[in-house]
Structure 1
Amino acid sequence: MVWTNLVFYCFRKERRDPLIIVLSFIAFTGLVALLSWYKTREDNLSTKEGYFLAGRGLSGLVIAGSLEMTNLSTEQLVGQAGQSYSTNMGAMSWSVGASMALLALALIFLPKYLKAGITTIPEFLEMRFDRTTKQIISFLFLLGYMLTYLPTVLYSGALAFNQIFHLDQVLGITTFQAIALLCAGIGIVGSIYAVFGGLKAVAVSDTINGVGLLIGGLLVPILAICILGNGNFIAGIRDFITNVPSDKFNSINPANSLPPMIPWPVLFLGMLFNNLFYWCTNQSIIQRTLAAKNLGQAQRGAVFTAFLKLLDPFFITICGLLAFRFFGDKLPQSDLAYPTLITTVIPTWLLGLMAAVLFGAILSSFNSALNSCVTLYTLDFHRAIINKTASDEYLVKIGKRVGTGLAIVSICVAPFVINAPSGLYDFLQECFGFYSMPILATVLVGFYTKRVPAIAPKVTLVTHVVLYSISKFLPLHVHYLYVLSVLFPIDLLLMLVIGKLKPRETDFELEDSKAVDLTPWKHVKPAAALCFVLMLCIYALFSPLGLAR
């Protein structure tokens, strides 16, 4: 194909000038910052809703871009590609399976959240149960973000940047020291967006970076395949499929698989439960949809994101297999697969733009989670406990101070993620397991029961943490997602039993807060059905029915 040859040779033209890399990186990063400032320069950030919920004015497209970029950072790019490099395409289930959870978000969770008019998920739990439940869940979210999620995002980004710019070699320092420096730099810039710009600045920068990431992300496998075909894309695909073992293309793993592989039964159990927690109750995700203009726009955003997640295998997971084709099993660490592939296939003159795109992805996840932390602390702790009469302007000021402190803690913790035993992606998911299932169970029970009392989520949370901790010390030799598959039904059953034995005195009724228009998007069900069919087609492609023959 003539056009692929032309593009290939254009992009492979080398200009080994480090100054071009640095200047293009600064130019794109500065452009995003400038556009984000321009779009938010007249926004009122002195009010609670203006700062924490973007004035409840986000459209479906902005929500979709922000949701995708909040989720899609270097812990996804590096971690998921690293998983597929060391195993097979089974790692794509984290993304493709997310589509089901996003459809559930649009059809089940959002109508109830927006009816309640909440700012945080714990705020709903206070309505349904009590203030103590809200504060416990808020604390768990804060702890999880500060000690696991934010550090993992910073570490994965630093790992990729060190592989691109070789900071350790340039400065003559160790890899650990280089990663620590990069974590600090990324954390400081991300904090500026989240702490001083509020949710609107985060969402706008996410959308702009999202366009760059989709283009740059797709460019990596396209160029890699062109290189394999010596400029011919079709020949490159033939080479790729022929020289990579067929079992690497399989996304359906045996039932007894252990991490980092994903056994097929958990696709309908533990992984589904985990995705429902992440996409339907996780504050850093939900906050974008709570800021929607109305229910219809929120549903559009969730469904659009579900379609975007179906693209992830073709520019994230597949990169692990491409790295295997280029390097075999010679890489010293699976998490180096993606950054090493980038430096191999992206021409030097384009590395600056690619680095800027990755930088945007890192900032997106980091500043989104940091903004959510600030929201949780300010509204669920400071106003509720420390200063009940605080004005919105004062709360925003406190939020900025807290965000700065949380960023500093995360920067300090981030370099030590290098010690994660089974790769950073599994490390992150296993950490979520300590509190994810009881939070999901509490929200669902809150939706669909009227008499379960406030003591139920507290007992369930303690029981879950104890059982999950015990599972880490027992020689079970089973995948941790199987553990979640068992614990989630136990969490639900325990809450329902407590509700039968000690029901609350009055029925709970969720009242309409009138915060936004609750008219649903008229195409939400057909769009959800189409997304589900496409998801099945992708699984068929990466299975013994397709490429894994």
Structure 2
Amino acid sequence: MQSTVDDVSMMVLCNSTFRQNRTSTEGYFLAGKNMTWFPVGASIFASNVGAPMYIGLAGTAAASGFAVAIYEWHAVYLLIALGWVFVPVYVASGAYTMPEYLKKRFGGRRIRIYLSVLALILYILTKISAEIYSGAIFMKQLLNWNMYACILIILAVTCIYTVAGGLTAVIYTDTIQTIILLIGAFVLMILGFHKVGGWNAMIAKYPYAAANYTLANTSVHACGLPREDFQRIFRDPKTGDIPWTGAIFGLSTIGIWVWCTDQLMVQRCLSAKNLTHAKAGSLMAAVLKILPFFLWIIPGMISRILFPDEIACADPVKCEEVCGNRAGCTNIAYPLFVLRMLPGGLRGLMLSALLAALMSSLTSIFNSASTMFTMDIWRRIRPHSKQRELMLVGRISGAFWGLMAGLATGLSRMVVDFMFPAPVCGSNDPDNRPAVLKEVHFLHFAIIISGVCALVTTVVSLFTKSRPPEKIRRLTFWTRNDPKEPDISDSEVDDDSEDENIQTVEGIPPIQSQKSIPKRMYHWLCGISDKPRPKLTEDEKVLIRKKMTSISEKPFWKSLMNVLAIIVAIGTTFMLGFFN
């Protein structure tokens, strides 16, 4: 009886505490931990399906066929691992961010700062720049606007509702945009199959999809004709553009970071109201990751069949005339497909789908980046930051040595890659790249980096004192169900005030004050509330902590999720075998 009363009390207190999601760090960064499985799953999928999916995925398929599907279907297994292996540990730890979790798990502050700074740099150099550039290419092809104007419009629209709404706005917007982009891509796929004559006709025509001058000139066949193994997903370890050894082993290490430890994905699961909804959301995203093969990869191949002179250009001079890129024009396969296949109204639908995908990814990146900057970096700079300051900053903004070794190894390859670019196919330039670039595929190099990290971490750990068991309670998969909280020494306690991070309880009238309209808009934009913040009792703090870190599940739903996860994994395995 007492247990039931405690559960009801916890539910009432937590609902009232986190309901106004924009005015607390829990609400702004974790959507009040009140999200259901459908928006969680839709947001995970939409966060990954950005403009590079329309440009890069379809373009790579136009160039080489089915193999790029491994990146999508490989994610299915890792998304299941996210919900079943990683999220229970993250939730039990009570962490907001991945760097915060690692700080709790391994102790010290340098690993938290290092990962936060590195993630922010990578977001800027890879994710944000790729999204904006790809989106600008698409808009320029469809609207013939200036590239810089497209970039400014993309940034302005995206920033407004990301800054104002927090993760709640991002997730709900992602849900709507997922529906839009799936409808738009599905319509274009059907039209493409109709135009090319169906599946069998596509398979028969693709090997000969080349520019006229390529078919007439045997010297450029290697650059202008598709690969002979275009129907295979797993390709030769030596000659394959995506070797199967790298796809299984190297891609797994990269994929674990992208899907299971990247703040961008983890934050969506942490916003779920309970572990069952987090599992269901990750499983829904896993199912949706099967679709890109049909919605973007196949249309990319069809585009090459229909427009070979542009998409399959093999001469650097002619490629530069078509798309301004001497290396090739497969990246415009999907935009050109949209431009020439659809009438005006449907073309507008696809532009909406593109912008939806683009903004979904950018808003997710911005929100996750602001979370890490605010919670992991700003709190170190300003250890006594008040709730209001954290909200404003969030809107504008052992293991350690293993990570450092991996960073040094990866940077060495990147520097060499910039110093010795690959010669453009079809040109007479010699390939003077060192063997580490010419002979070692980047997925194979990922295996090397993982080995270096594992070796250094193991060696250093053997010469350092391990953390005692009482300090890793609820911080590993094997200790996630420990009823006790981990022991924290005085040196490990963060300086931020817990009371300042607790949301105002509803029902208390706001302080009556006259504010100007600009000040009201400022307070609304920054999520600043004038409501008084009552002092919570120790029991109430315990209840809130229990809500935030609970990983309990009802037996029926737990069993159902397990069965569905097995079905999805088996189905994906069958498809990988079928298309190989």
Q: Into which bin does the TM-score normalised by the smaller protein fall?
A: 0.7 to 0.9
The separation in 2 between residues aligned to 1:505 and 1:195, in whole angstroms, is 39
Indicate whether 1:143 and 2:121 are aligned.
Answer: yes
The separation in 2 between residues aligned to 1:329 and 1:280, in whole angstroms, is 41
Aligned position for 1:166 = 144
Farther-moved stretch of structure 1 (213-222 vs 487-496)? 487-496
Aligned position for 2:435 = 475
Residues 483-516 of structure 1: per-residue CA shift (max 9 Å, x gap): 1112213312321221112123633423355214
Indicate whether 1:275 and 2:255 are aligned.
Answer: yes
Indicate whether 1:396 and 2:391 are aligned.
Answer: yes
* Max Rg structure: 2
Q: Which of 231, 237, 242 does residue 255 from structure 1 map onto?
A: 237
Letter in 2 for 1:104: A
Cα offset, 1:277, TM superposition: 0.7
| Secondary structure of residue in 1 paired with 2:559 | coil
Indicate whether 1:337 and 2:333 are aligned.
Answer: yes
Residues 156-214 of structure 1: per-residue CA shift (max 9 Å, x gap): 111111111122xxxxxxxxxx2222111101111112111100000000000101111
Note the residue ranges of structure 2 that are not aligned, 5 or more in a row: 1-18, 208-227, 312-318, 320-328, 417-433, 475-484, 486-544
Q: Which of 454, 457, 460 does residue 498 from structure 1 map onto?
A: 460
Farther-moved stretch of structure 1 (505-514 vs 124-133)? 505-514
Aligned position for 1:3 = none
Cα offset, 1:270, TM superposition: 0.8
Letter in 2 for 1:206: D
Letter in 2 for 1:254: D
The separation in 2 between residues aligned to 1:532 and 1:490, in whole angstroms, is 30
Aligned position for 2:305 = 325
Aligned position for 2:564 = 527
Aligned position for 1:518 = 551
Indicate whether 1:387 and 2:382 are aligned.
Answer: yes
Aligned-pair Cα RMSD in Å = 1.7
Letter in 1 for 2:401: V
8 A Cα contact 2:92 2:551, kept in partner: yes
Indicate whether 1:109 and 2:68 are aligned.
Answer: no
Aligned position for 1:214 = 182
The separation in 1 between residues aligned to 2:177 and 2:467, in whole angstroms, is 50
The separation in 1 between residues aligned to 2:466 and 2:86, in whole angstroms, is 23
The separation in 1 between residues aligned to 2:64 and 2:345, in whole angstroms, is 32
Cα offset, 1:106, TM superposition: 1.3
Indicate whether 1:286 and 2:266 are aligned.
Answer: yes
The separation in 2 between residues aligned to 1:466 and 1:132, in whole angstroms, is 17
Structure with the bigger percentage of helix: 1
| Secondary structure of residue in 1 paired with 2:282 | helix
8 A Cα contact 2:260 2:266, kept in partner: yes
Q: Which of 86, 91, 98 does residue 121 from structure 1 map onto?
A: 98
The separation in 2 between residues aligned to 1:526 and 1:242, in whole angstroms, is 39
The separation in 2 between residues aligned to 1:139 and 1:355, in whole angstroms, is 34
Aligned position for 1:421 = none
Cα offset, 1:247, TM superposition: 3.3
Cα offset, 1:541, TM superposition: 3.0
The separation in 2 between residues aligned to 1:100 and 1:500, in whole angstroms, is 32
Q: Which of 301, 307, 311 does residue 281 from structure 2 map onto?
A: 301
The separation in 2 between residues aligned to 1:257 and 1:302, in whole angstroms, is 35
Q: Normalised by the size of structure 2, how large is the TM-score?
A: 0.72
Letter in 2 for 1:310: I
Cα offset, 1:324, TM superposition: 1.6
Cα offset, 1:312, TM superposition: 1.4
Letter in 2 for 1:199: L
| Secondary structure of residue in 2 paired with 1:380 | helix
Aligned position for 1:33 = none
Aligned position for 1:466 = 408
The separation in 1 between residues aligned to 2:310 and 2:143, in whole angstroms, is 21
The separation in 1 between residues aligned to 2:139 and 2:72, in whole angstroms, is 23
8 A Cα contact 2:28 2:167, kept in partner: yes
Aligned position for 2:448 = 486
Letter in 2 for 1:164: L
Aligned position for 1:354 = 350
Aligned position for 1:19 = none
Cα offset, 1:533, TM superposition: 1.4
The percentage of aligned residue pairs carrying the same residue is: 28
Residues 436-463 of structure 1: per-residue CA shift (max 9 Å, x gap): xxxxxxxxxxxxxxxxxxxx32322222
8 A Cα contact 2:93 2:549, kept in partner: no
The separation in 1 between residues aligned to 2:199 and 2:403, in whole angstroms, is 49
Aligned position for 1:194 = 162
Residues 248-287 of structure 1: per-residue CA shift (max 9 Å, x gap): 22212211246xx211112220111111110001111111
Note the residue ranges of structure 1 that are not aligned, 5 or more in a row: 1-41, 168-177, 230-235, 403-455, 544-549
Cα offset, 1:226, TM superposition: 1.1
8 A Cα contact 1:83 1:91, kept in partner: yes
